């Protein structure tokens, strides 16, 4: 083979080896990019899981958001200032007997609160239907709006048939709008901001021996008011105050 042919063959081999090296380098670079993308995807997934866990923890259990003035994860919403007698009222907004109770005694309770004789804690339970949960959550949203007693009464006034799903969010938002609730009320209702609190109230009720609604405590003692007569409630309040 001539020297010229040998030089040409050597050049071809050099080009071939260079191309092979370039292909191998490109393959290694592609593999590194693939590994990097996989790693980034895993990290992103872990971040999303972490966010979901934090969000879940912040909306349930001990970390559940609570309405303004509520002092414990499953505590009641206060109405009125500190007073000699504390009334804890456990109700379900879809409960017909609770509506009867509220219709008969709400005015008397309000007058006692205004007179400084009574402080009320409302505990909305949610066991009758899906509307019970929605109404209890919306009530918590109304507490934030400073409409605790007004909204409580208005929801009972709109109570429907307990055999269905009960209150809708649209209905509950409309009630708040009618009472002058602010811009954040609708998003609070539709977002279920206080669903965790509603769950906790139910747990708290079971822990305290609440087995039906309405259940009434005066200064920590269960009070039986079978007739729902205003005078019977006033007598019970007076007896509770005298016992202190």
Q: Tell me how far apart the 2 most distant CA atoms of the chain are, in Å.
A: 127
Q: Where are the domains of the chain?
A: 1-58, 77-242
Structure tokens at 110: 């309000």
pLDDT of residue 147: 98
Going by C-alpha positions, the residue among 56, 101, 85 that lies closest to residue 195 is 56
Q: pLDDT under 70 in the chain at which residues?
A: 1-60, 162-164
pLDDT of residue 244: 80
Helices marked H in 59-144 — which ranges?
96-114, 130-144
CATH 3.40.50.150 fits 77-242, yes or no: no
pLDDT of residue 14: 64
Going by C-alpha positions, the residue among 184, 68, 195 that lies closest to residue 136 is 195
3-state SS, residue 3: helix
Distance (Å, rounded) from C-alpha 62 to C-alpha 72? 8
Distance set, CA 191 to CA 133, 167, 168, 169 (Å): 12, 15, 13, 10
Structure tokens at 121: 């804690």
């Amino acid at each position: 083979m001539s020297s010229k042919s040998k030089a040409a063959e050597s050049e071809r081999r050099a080009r071939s080896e260079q191309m092979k090296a370039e292909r191998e380098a490109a393959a290694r670079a592609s593999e590194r990019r693939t590994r990097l993308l996989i790693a980034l995807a895993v990290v992103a997934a872990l971040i999303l899981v972490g966010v979901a866990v934090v969000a879940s923890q912040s909306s349930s259990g001990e970390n559940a958001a609570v309405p303004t003035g509520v002092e414990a994860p499953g505590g009641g919403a206060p109405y009125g200032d500190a007073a000699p007698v504390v009334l804890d009222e456990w109700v379900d907004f879809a409960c017909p007997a609770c509506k009867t109770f509220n219709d008969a005694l709400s005015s008397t309770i309000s007058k006692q609160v205004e007179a400084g004789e009574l402080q009320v804690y409302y505990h909305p339970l949610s066991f009758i239907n899906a509307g019970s949960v929605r109404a209890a959550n919306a009530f918590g949203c109304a507490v934030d709006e400073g409409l605790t007693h007004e909204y409580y009464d208005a929801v009972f006034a709109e109570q429907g048939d307990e055999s269905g799903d009960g209150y809708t969010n649209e209905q509950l938002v409309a009630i708040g709008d009618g009472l002058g609730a602010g811009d954040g009320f609708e998003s609070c209702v539709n977002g279920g901001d206080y669903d965790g609190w509603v769950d906790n109230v139910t747990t708290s009720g079971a822990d305290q021996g609440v087995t039906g609604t309405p259940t009434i405590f005066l200064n920590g003692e269960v009070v039986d008011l079978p007739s729902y007569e205003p005078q019977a409630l006033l007598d019970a309040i007076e007896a509770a105050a005298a016992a202190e």
